Structures are given as C-alpha cells and as structure tokens.
Structure 1
C-alpha cells in the first residue's frame, strides 16, 4: 500500500521555501509563473532548486506555469488562433526541461484546464476527439523531448481528463508518465468515489506523481484532506506505491503551509488504521 510522504508545494520565494523546509519534506513542488521565465527569474528559479536540493530534498517537481496573460496555459490552444500563448507554452516547457536535465528534477505539464476559454478552444476543432488528438500530438512531442523527466496531469476539461475508461485507454496507449490529481478526477466524475477508485486502479502503473487534494466533487475547491467527500480509505490502496506525491491544498496564507501539513497528518493516521486492519 502507498505510504504517505510529506510532499509540499510553494513558489521559488525564499519565504515560502523556508516555511516548507522547516518540516523536512520528502518532495517539494515548485509552482512556477510567467515571471520565472525572464532571464533574472529563470536564474532565480535555478538557484532556488539548488537551494532546496542542498537542504536534502531529493525529489523536486517543477509545475509548468498555469497561465499566460488572461489565458490558462492550455496545450489545446491552436497555434494559428493563439500564437503568443502557443509559443509561451513551447518556450517555457523547453526551459523547464533544460533545468530538469541539468539538475535531475521533474517537470509537470497540464494536459488541460477547465472553463469557458478552453471550451472555446476545443470548439475551434472539428470535434472533441480532434481536439484531443491535437493535445496528444503535442504531448507526444514533449514526452520525446523530456523522457523520464516529464509527466502530464489530468484536468477537468474534455481533452485530457481521467474518469472515462475509454479516454484513459487512449492516454495509456501513448505510454505517458502520468500525474494524477485526485480532486480533478473526482470533480470530472461529479463526486463518484467508485469511479475515482476505478480510475486510480486503471492508471496506477503509469502514475509517477500524485496531487492529493480533497473536494466536494462539484467545483475546483482544493480542500484539506478529510474535509471533502473523497473516500481516502478507498484511495490509498489503489495508488502506485512507487510514485511521489504532494498536498495541493488552497492555503489561507501562502507563507504558511499548515493546510498541507494537516492533510499529511490526516492521511498518515488513516494509513496506520488501514495497515492495522490488514494485519488483523
């Protein structure tokens, strides 16, 4: 069974990093933004990664920036309609993969986001399947460039979501290294715990990283574990025990990761209970 690990998320700011490092995490995931890809910002990010590594954190993930200007960084965006966004995604993915290769860290790219803008982008294609195929073609190229340094995360958008076995089979056929966000899948399934568990089972061999997040199953609420409707006792036994994980929780104060720590405490207690039940 998957054993909970302390995986924390923050930016490249020293304040956030030092707050997380106080608790000696096994995993640190950097939230990046557009300003991390200016010449000065990129150097700052490199130095921040090296600083976290110097403090003994061996597993580091670089989360591709979520947005560019007014848009989410949706890989489905056609180049002819969104040339600046398209080039931004290309450039930043290349820069992150350079860091990953130089510093032996991981890069996480979203397969999609949710909302009216992505719906408009998908509508530019002849069909949803055509939009998905365009996403797969782009991710195939990123996967070839990144090798064992890149992974792709599920969304709530129709182009790269977990929850539908047929779409999961399409994704598995590409042999991607996968990141699994529990809340995204749960929301995609409108709060269906059995569906979430089936998806976890189906994709587990390809999952290398988890975003552990609770949810009420309706909107992107990013709740502390144990405060939503996800059945975590059903989740833990279905996770890939070789994968890394972080707690991707909305924080009241970005300089204080208490909600992430509370999530870890909750999952650790549950893991102990489940282990005892197995031993009986």
Structure 2
C-alpha cells in the first residue's frame, strides 16, 4: 500500500488495460485515475472495471474514474440537444457513480469539452443559456453523487474556470471541483495571471488536479516544464488537501515516464519554494 501522505502526490493515469495498470503500479502511485471509454460502461466493461479497481486498491485508496470523453466520435457534452448522447450520459454516469459509491472511489465528470461559442449559441440561443443548461445537469449529478463526484473544467465557455464572474457562480453551487491547469491556461489565452487568479479563487472547492502544461493555444497536454505555465507561481496557490495526477499525453501508453518526470519537476519547484 502506498503510504505517501503529502501533496503533490505521484498521480498516474491509465486505461482499464491490465498491461497499462501493471506498468503504473510498478511505481506505486499515491493516486490512480482510470481513463474510461464507452466499452467500460457495458455490463462486461463495468465488471472488468470493478476488478481493476480492486487490483489498484491494493496499492492506493485514492482512485478516480474519469467518465468517458467521447461517444460515437463526438465529445460527451453533459448538456446536449442530442437525445442519444443525453441517454448515454444518463446511463454511463449512473452506472459509474454506482461503482464509485460502492467501491468508495471518485467519479470525475466533465462540465463540457471544447464546444465553440458559435455551436453553443446555435444549440442554446446564448452562452448564458448554455451555461445554465450545464449547471442544471451538474446540480443533478451533485445531488446524486455527493462526496463521490467531481466536475472538471474545459476550454469551452459553458464550463470554464477562466472567468472570475462565472467562477463565483460555480462556487455558489457548492460543487467538488476537478481542476485542469492546461484547460484554464488555454481558455485564458496563455495568461499566467489569469491562471493564478483562477486557481486562487477556486482553491477551497478543488478536490483534484490534472497537473499538465500547455503552450496556451490548443489542447496539447505537455509535461510540466515544457509549456508556458509558470509553475513557480502556480505551486503556492494549489490546494494541498486535494489529490492530483499528471495528465500528460504519452507516446507509448505502456511507458509513464512523462507523467513521472512531471512529478519530479513539481517536486523540484516545491523544494525550491521551501528554501
């Protein structure tokens, strides 16, 4: 069992593929996040997921299930006029939340993904209406999920953490927040001032971080230190009571070196801050 108790944690991410999980567990992560797909929310997939969670629980109790990102080639927008997608959101979130509650792990759900303003306006009439639709859905899942569900930000204006006015509204809903540093940085157009202000404003509600670098222009998921995020400014405003993973794009899904190197980089930032 991993006994690391101090933030930042070595947090690693993998699919439900046993080979990926075995590679991650070699390094005894303090936090483990499962990246799931629609195949993982079928009856067979859910049974396999439970088995994989039981395996990881021998190493750590800090486990997060990441709700599927895509469905039939499109991002899983939690508020959508597509009846098929809405049905999938309901079925998959209900099933994964049941797993999370029964196995005492966490479920992470995206508030939105990368839907551009023009599409939001076409679907909902305005950005404000799109945000209201997203918040209504998140309220529903917050009430059902309690302390086993959290909501992650995106680069889409319907659920971004880059707008301080919207952040205040989000805080008023008392959500448990999952915070992706790169998403805010991209939504803030590469502005470190905006990122740091957002992190500070939302810190009390943040329970989990996706620590990832970016050039601030598109979703690039870079290792820490390889983008334009100023981690010396970010580190002091992170909530030390949260968990974290390093959500870095890997060239080889059986080699988590980039995730682990990012942890080493942040540990260096932490050590320098103590001096």
> Normalising to structure 2: TM-score of the pair?
0.96
Write the distance in 1 (CA, Å) between the matches of 2:73 and 2:120. Answer: 14
Q: Which residue in the other structure is 2:105 paired with?
A: 105
Write the distance in 1 (CA, Å) between the matches of 2:206 and 2:23. Answer: 28
Alignment of 1:1-280 (within 5 A): 3-54=7-58, 56-78=59-81, 82-115=82-115, 119-276=118-275
Cα deviations by residue, 1:174-194 (Å, 9 ceiling, x for unpaired): 010000000000000111001
Write the distance in 2 (CA, Å) between the matches of 1:145 and 1:236. Answer: 33
Q: What secondary structure does 2:214 align onto?
A: coil
Q: Please report how far the alpha carbon of residue 25 of structure 1 lies from its aligned counterpart in structure 2 after TM superposition.
A: 0.4
Contact in 2 for aligned 1:10/1:16 (Cα 8 Å): yes
Q: Please report how far the alpha carbon of residue 124 of structure 1 lies from its aligned counterpart in structure 2 after TM superposition.
A: 1.4
Write the distance in 2 (CA, Å) between the matches of 1:137 and 1:232. Answer: 34
Contact in 1 for aligned 2:23/2:254 (Cα 8 Å): yes
Q: Please report how far the alpha carbon of residue 70 of structure 1 lies from its aligned counterpart in structure 2 after TM superposition.
A: 1.9
Q: What secondary structure does 1:5 align onto?
A: coil
Q: What secondary structure does 1:108 align onto?
A: strand
Q: Which residue in the other structure is 2:3 paired with?
A: none
Runs in 1 of length 4+ with deviation above 3 angstroms? none
Contact in 2 for aligned 1:154/1:181 (Cα 8 Å): yes
Contact in 2 for aligned 1:213/1:248 (Cα 8 Å): yes
Cα deviations by residue, 1:82-121 (Å, 9 ceiling, x for unpaired): 11110101111001110011100000000001145x8424
Q: Please report how far the alpha carbon of residue 3 of structure 1 lies from its aligned counterpart in structure 2 after TM superposition.
A: 3.1
Write the distance in 2 (CA, Å) between the matches of 1:152 and 1:160. Answer: 9
Write the distance in 1 (CA, Å) between the matches of 2:73 and 2:108. Answer: 21
Q: What secondary structure does 1:159 align onto?
A: helix
Write the distance in 2 (CA, Å) between the matches of 1:119 and 1:172. Answer: 26
- Number of residues paired by the alignment? 270
Contact in 2 for aligned 1:76/1:122 (Cα 8 Å): no
Q: Where in structure 2 are there 5+ consecutive unaligned residues?
A: 1-5
> Normalising to structure 1: TM-score of the pair?
0.94
